[in-house]
Structure 1
Amino acid sequence: MRIFKKINWVEYWTSHIFSFGQKDGLPYTETLYFRTDGRIHFGQKTSSNETYWRLTSTQLEILNENMEVTTTFELDKTLQKQWIGTFKLDENIHHVLNEVSEIQAIDTLINDASLNLNKKIEQAQLQQFNQLHAWLKPSNTQLVKIAFVVNAVETLDALIPLMLAIKENEQFELKILTFNRFFRGDEQLNSKTLVEQKLSEYDLTPVLNSNTPTLDLERLSNWSPDYLVRQSEWDADFPAAFAVKNLWWTKLIHIAYTVLEDFIENPNSKLPFYTQEYYENIWRTFIPEQLDDEAINVLDKTFIPRETYQAVGSIKALQIKKTEPVWPNNNNALSRVIWMPHHSVEPGWFQMGTFIDYAETIYNWAVDHPNISILLNPHPSLDIVIKQNDLSMSIEAYNSFIDRWEKLPNTEYLVKQNSYPAVAASDVILTDGISILYEGQILEKPIVYLERSDHVKFTPAGEKMMRGVHRENKVEKALQKVEYLLHQADELRDQQIENVKPWVSDAHPEQKIINAILTDFNNGN
């Protein structure tokens, strides 16, 4: 028996193999081991609740894919063959770690590998059978299966017309999966509910998922969709199970939640955003307009096939253009300004955000202009960025500002919902970026851009779009320009109309997308 103070717990946990499961139940895995990089190897499987591990002075903690503690094991003064821990999500459940001999673990791994190989052979045989069956079966009796994976209500309008068109098309079978959105590791707990409420407005019904993403992925793959649309290109927005690398078994479709992806430079690469490695996994990216020669030459530096990009027009642009105006304050006597600050207030990344520097100045301007109704509509992640970073404004100060803002008689606050009805009802947009700088032009609204000197540069396409925007690098000048535009016609309006013309020239881009899918499916590709 070894004394507690002599035990090297890191060495112990990383040099043994364990079975893991509920007490008095069959183990979930018989080959779990703790890697030295802090991750957990869960046998031949993955488990979102058992992804990472760490030691405290008294406990072994097991964490989920979001770095939240799920199970704790008390470190006794002696080593044991069996460890019993508490499942933090339901303390009536206890998990058990049992030491497994290397011989037993190797035998299990060999058996698991053999079973997996047999399963893959069976799946390949079944796939061949299904392909043969599809060739023999009349094409008009075979439905095209398509799934949507969505998590953000703010940008859902870029997909809803396509969902509705697919739902009404008898050649398709549609499934919609909803999840909470993640931002920089934080799960936005109400985001799934907001998405489902929005879908219900259009009589679109999501699948009842299990709250275990790995299981939902397995169920989805068993349904075997021919095509899949994930709402954004950012893996970090979704549960780890739905990372693009785990979706290799279907044809992925990308429909941008913004209108223009080639707008600002990528701060982490010499190549533009539309050439990220993500796009190497995509069957089709449907874009508003044809790539120019320069963009095509850039693609040649990547493994992205040129045919991946297909111009169809922009669902998002058309949705914005037909937005019905709604202003929270019904006082029609007041002029209306919508203030839309971006979340990139911390050093690095885009460095567009100006809220921390200019919030008080704009607050005082609102106090001094009671004849102007001012709606604050921050990026939905601004408060998260402030909370997660050591900045000159704390989250408490931010919340205090919002409280003071909402108490003014001529101000409103709008967050985590569709902002375009308010944009459509506004007279002037005051913003520091990003997508509103061009999407606001679709509604032909005067846009005053409060520009930081150190922001990430615009691309050539972005600079072209900025011809429709009033650029000011001092807050006082920006507010003066806002007041001017409240009473004078915008001399940049004609430029805005020219800028957005390619995006709105086709009234039904969703039909072009459906036709591309059907052509591919019927050709047996």
Structure 2
Amino acid sequence: MLVRSVRQSWSTLRSLAHRIVGVDERTQRLESVLDGLVRRVGALREQNAELARRTDELERAVAGRGDAHSRSLRVLNDTVNLATRRGAFARPVARVVFLVHHIEAWDSLDELFAAMAASPDFDPVVVSLPRRFGGVGPLRDEDVVHAGLAERGVPHLRAVGDRVPDVLRFVKLLEPDLVVRQSQWDRDVDEGLAVELLSFARLCLVPYETMNLVVNVPEPRSGTTNTAVDSELHRAAWLVFCANEESRRAAVRDGVTAGRQFRVVGHPKADVLRAAEPSWPVATAGPSGGRRPRVVWSSHHSIGQGWTRFGLFPEVAEDMLAWAREGDVEIVWMPHPALRPYLERPESPCPVERYADWRTRWDALGNTAVVESERYAPVLAATDVVITDGLSMLVEPQVLTTPVVFLERAGHRPFTEVGDRVVAGTHVVDDVASARRVVEKVRTDGDDLASVQRRNVQELLGAPGAAERILRVLRDEIAAVRGLSSAPSGQDAR
């Protein structure tokens, strides 16, 4: 038994030994295969690295050629445009194309257009455009622009949809001597109307705002530190019309052309305000049947953490609604036209749903209204006081010597020297409760800042007649181009 058991164990051991040897042999073969795979992977990695290096070199070469090609195209475009501009004013009548996307700011151009239309030496053509304030979202609202121009009786051509698939070609077909675009921001209009593409004609700028009040956010891409006087449009413009000498000096200081194209003429919008007939959109009487105090509440669009950071609509909307609900005053809300599009942005501190709910409650009151069109001058002429978080509404009511309550947001962009002078004509507060106290005070005691406002208007906007002064400058400059005059009109036409 013992012998048999030993033999069986020995046989088992020999079998296991053979198996172990077989496993070792297979392991060695697998290790050899693995070593081969490792070598192949290493070789592939080296090949990939070489391929990536060659790809990078090729991309750099292509990019360099593309940059050189783009530079060549820009140089050619600039040269062709320069040659085209030199052919301007060959006709006895100067054709001026107004590109209008910001109908709410049409008051800056209305009297100039009317003066040109009544002059035998100008042929003004107005074109209504779609827009996207801040460059966000699709182009839209041409119908709003069209309706606003039609309401004023301004004849115009419509650059919209399938009717005008190539807006730049459309403008070129009009053969303008001068092109007036409403603002310096390329991002607000169709890409085909960028400054570099419009420079085939002589460009003019009548700023949509009366004057710049803040130290603007720099734009490193264009190399400008002051977009109020040195944007791409300012640089390319043949003439820029500004309201006061302070604005021209800013252009001399900050502009790459040292302000050579700037002319001081006052501002046409001031004349529109001066001539406005009062019109108030709230028709209901007060609880006792008498006239309630009238308040215009103006909201800026910069409610986020970027840009100028003046807007306070999300913070004060409920307080203003609560005030209106008391029924002792009539409040007309005048939002900046760029506020509503801003609310649709992901970074907006006031979601669209919250705004819609607030607006429903606001519109349901009998002593409130909303003015979102360009026809706001008559409303300013009819109001007793303006409450605003900035910016244009800090200036414009002062033309009418209307009390202004500045609802100031902490941390906004700093004011310029001109901005400080304008703010001196306003009552500065930091909440709605304080604004209400100021409104009550100026109603009962009058506005002790009226004299400051009158001085601001006199010194910063000048005398009436800005549109005619612009025409006079244009006539002199056109005559100089035609060789009919020895010198341009000068820097100050007031």
Normalising by structure 2, we get a TM-score of 0.74
The structure with more strand, counted as a fraction of residues: 1
Tell me the equivalent position of 1:354.
312
Which of 361, 366, 373 is the aligned partner of 2:324?
Answer: 366
Superposed, 1:100-249 pairs within 5 Å as: 134=90, 142-184=92-134, 185-187=136-138, 189=140, 191-209=141-159, 211=161, 215-249=166-200
2:372 aligns to what? 415
Corresponding letter in the other structure for 2:468: Q
1:266 aligns with 2:216: yes
Shift of 1:428: 1.2
Deviation at 1:357, TM superposition (A): 1.2
Whether 1:295 aligns to 2:250 is yes
1:394-436 Cα shifts (integer Å, max 9, x gaps): 1011011010011123222222342222122111111111110
Q: 1:355 to 1:204 in 2, by over 3 A?
A: closer
C-alpha deviation, 1:392, in angstroms? 4.3
CA spacing shift, 1:149–1:294, aligned 2, 3 Å: closer
- Aligned-partner SS, 1:340: strand
- For 1:277, which of 232, 253, 260 is the aligned residue? 232
State the Cα deviation string for residues 171-211 of structure 1 (Å, max 9, x = none).
Answer: 1222221111211323463x323333333345432135463
Checking the alignment, whether the CA contact within 8 Å between 2:332 and 2:371 is kept in structure 1 is: yes
Corresponding residue for residue 392 of structure 2: 435
Contact 2:293 2:330 survives alignment (8 Å): yes
Deviations 1:211-268 (A, max 9, x none): 366633223224432111001111111100001111111110000111112x111123
Could you give the per-residue CA deviations for residues 428-479 of structure 1, whole angstroms, max 9, x where no partner exists? 1111111101111111111111111111111111001111000012332222
- Structure 1 residues 515, 214: closer, same or farther in 2, change over 3 A? farther
- Contiguous gaps of at least 5 residues in structure 2: 1-54, 56-61, 220-224, 483-494
Alignment of 1:311 with 2:264, yes or no, is yes
Please tell me whether residue 385 in structure 1 is matched to residue 342 in structure 2.
yes
The answer as to whether partners of 1:341 and 1:432 remain within 8 angstroms in 2 is yes
- Between 1:281-290 and 1:177-186, the stretch displaced more is 177-186
Deviations 1:368-401 (A, max 9, x none): 3x12111122222222212213444310110110
8 Å CA contact 1:279–1:304 kept in 2: the answer is no
SS in 2 for 1:363: helix
SS at match of 1:176: strand
CA contact (8 A) 1:148 1:229 kept: yes
Is contact 1:147-1:175 (8 Å) kept?
yes
Q: Is residue 337 of structure 1 aligned with residue 295 of structure 2? A: yes
**Structure index of larger Rg:** 2
Whole-angstrom CA distance in 2 between matches of 1:272 and 1:126: 27
* Distance verdict in 2 for CA 1:420–1:296, change over 3 Å: closer
Preserved CA contact (<8 Å) 1:406 1:412? yes
Give the percent of matched residue pairs that are identical in Structure 1 and Structure 2: 26
2:363 aligns with one of 399, 403, 406: 406
Kept in 1, the 8 Å contact 2:107–2:374? The answer is: no
Once the 2 structures are TM-superposed, how far is the Cα of residue 483 of structure 1 from its aligned partner?
A: 2.3
Q: Find runs of 4+ consecutive structure 1 residues off by over 4 angstroms.
A: 119-128
| C-alpha separation in 2, matches of 1:124 and 1:279 | 16
Rounded Cα–Cα distance in structure 2 between residues aligned with 1:124 and 1:478: 53
CA contact (8 A) 2:248 2:262 kept: no
How many Å separate the matches in 2 of 1:265 and 1:120? 31
Q: Are the aligned partners of 2:218 and 2:227 in contact in 1 as well (CA < 8 Å)?
A: no
Q: What is the alpha-carbon root mean square deviation over aligned residues?
A: 3.2
CA deviations on 1:260-312 (whole Å, 9 max, x unpaired) are: 12x1111236436212233111111111122479526514xx32243211011
Contact 1:253 1:282 in 2 (8 A): yes
* Cα pair distance change 1:385/1:518, threshold 3 Å: same
8 A Cα contact 1:289 1:311, kept in partner = yes
Identify the structure with the greater helix proportion: 2
Instruction: From the superposition, tell whether residues 241 and 272 of structure 1 become closer, same or farther in structure 2 (CA, over 3 Å).
Output: closer
Secondary structure at 1:401 match in 2: helix
Equivalent positions of 1:472-511 (< 5 A) are 472-502=429-459, 505-511=462-468
Aligned in 2, Cα 1:296/1:151: closer, same or farther, shift over 3 Å?
Answer: closer
Closer/same/farther in 2, CA of residues 127 and 226 from structure 1, 3 Å limit: closer
- Equivalent in the alignment of 2:413: 456
**Any stretches of 5+ residues in structure 1 without a counterpart?**
1-14, 16-35, 46-112, 135-140
**Do the aligned partners of 2:167 and 2:193 also contact (CA within 8 Å) in 1?**
no
Contact 1:148 1:228 in 2 (8 A): yes
Of structures 1 and 2, the one scoring higher in RCO (CA 8 A, sep 6+) is: 2
Give the match's secondary structure for 2:335.
coil
Cα distance per residue 1:1-42 (max 9 Å; x no partner): xxxxxxxxxxxxxx9xxxxxxxxxxxxxxxxxxxx99xxx9x
Aligned-residue offset at 1:518 = 2.1
Q: What is the CA distance between 1:366 and its match in structure 2?
A: 2.0
Letter in 2 for 1:165: A
Number of paired residues? 402
TM-score (norm 1): 0.70
Once the two structures are TM-superposed, the CA of residue 144 in structure 1 deviates from its matched residue by 1.3
